Amino acid sequence: MKVNLENVPKEFEDLYNKLLNEFPNKLRVLKKKYTICFILNIISFLAAFVCFATANFLAFLISTIIFIISVVFSTKFSKKYNLLYKNSIIKKFIQLVSTKLSYEPEVKNISEVKSLYSISGFDTEYYDKFSADDYIHGYIQENIFIRLYDLALTKTEKDNDGHYQTVPVFTGLFLINDSLKNINSSIRIKRNQIKIFSSNKEKVEIDNSTFEKYFDVYSSNEILTMRILTPDVLNTIVDFAEKNKILFEITFKDDKIFFRFFTGATFVPKILGNPTDKKSLYTYYYIINFIKDISILTNNAIADLEL
């Protein structure tokens, strides 16, 4: 996940500075507690290793007990820190980006999200674990509602030595946008770097060489695809692609529009760094604004269709 911090808009700078000024003191305290425990973890582990190697078993026992206690407390502080970060920094950040959007750190109905992800058709690759959190939702326009989730999909497979290991399938942001009309068809826009496992749709040639430099389009209805992917839509997608290195793809499926961004884990604080990391927050800001722009453009194009 990489965005360019050059020419950051003043709107974001103002938003970021406001967030820094409202940084909760309790978050600083929890960060210090976790940092102390984390350092103690390392010291006690190394001490236990040295004591064991030198056969100083009493010192080894004491070091091991200290290590276990520090791990328990560091885990406890880490969970509290992460939750407070989401409920204070991220929730406030989303509200500053758009007062129409709401944020919840936990997803109540994961089975529904999993069902929607399956409908999107993004992955035909097998996965055996599906997790979702960080739920953002709201109207970006009077009649355009979005739902955004942070997903982690993994599978278990054998390595060359016959050992089982957990392998990531997808980690990043997944968005559902309720379309203004049911197009009774499907269109998939994917970055060239993203492997496609299977497709029952034909590849559509787009009359935009810059767009085709980055993307492939598959559709079961070429004429409908050309009417939805207007020059404004194509240029907005290309502009986002050229200004950052975030892989993403879009699927139009009947009455929904799906997005997924290969960002890796999102809305996670840096324990040993700046929790209000500017690059991470600007990435979220940039993605949310892109989603708003492209959702409005595509829905306007769909609303004008005679279906």
Label residue 123 by pLDDT band (50, 70, 90). Answer: low
Average pLDDT, the chain: 84
Position 162 scores a pLDDT of 74
Are residues 185 and 221 in contact, defined by beta-carbon separation less than 8 angstroms? Answer: yes
Distance CA 241, CA 154 (A): 26
Rounded CA gap, 278 and 283, in Å? 8
- Range 207-219 average pLDDT: 87
Over 90: is that where the pLDDT of 190 sits?
no
User: Residue 118: pLDDT above 60?
Assistant: yes
Alpha helices in the chain (DSSP H): 10-21, 25-53, 57-85, 91-97, 110-120, 209-214, 222-228, 231-243, 278-303
Single pTM value for the model: 0.84
Residue 48: Cβ-neighbour burial (10 angstroms; 0-12, 13-18, 19+): buried
pLDDT of res. 3: 62
Q: Which helix (H) or strand (E) holds 34?
A: helix 25-53
What pLDDT does residue 147 have? 92
Q: 124 pLDDT exceeds 70? A: no
Count, residues in the chain: 307
Average pLDDT over every residue of 136-159: 88
Rounded-to-integer distance, Cα 5 and Cα 7, Å:
6
The predicted model gives 183-191 an average pLDDT of: 87
Residue 169 has pLDDT above 60, yes or no: yes
Contacts of 169 (CB under 8 A, 6+ apart): 123, 125, 126, 127, 153, 154, 155
Residue 226 reports pLDDT greater than 80? yes
Locate the DSSP E strands across 13-143.
101-106, 129-141
The pLDDT, as a whole number, for residue 197 is 46
Pseudo-torsion of CA 185, 188, 189, 191, nearest 10°?
180
* pLDDT (tens digit per residue) in 248-265: 899 999 999 999 999 888
Average pLDDT over residues 33-48: 87
| Contacting residues for 19 by C-beta, under 8 A, at least 6 apart | 89, 92, 93, 96, 276, 281
103 has which bridge partners?
136
User: Residue 57 carries which side chain, given as an amino acid letter?
Assistant: F
User: Residue 201: what pLDDT?
Assistant: 62
pLDDT in tens, 272-298: 667 677 888 888 888 888 999 999 999
**72-98 pLDDT, tens per residue?**
888 888 888 888 888 888 898 898 888
Average pLDDT on 211-223 reads 87
Determine the average pLDDT of the residues in 180-187. 87
The pLDDT-based confidence of 167 (bands split at 50, 70, 90) is: confident
Return the percentage of the chain with pLDDT > 70, whole number.
92
Map residue 188 onto helix, strand or coil: strand
Q: What is the mean pLDDT of residues 207-235?
A: 88
Lowest-confidence pick of 19-33, 45-59, 104-118: 19-33
Nearest to 253 by CA among 294, 218, 293, 289: 218
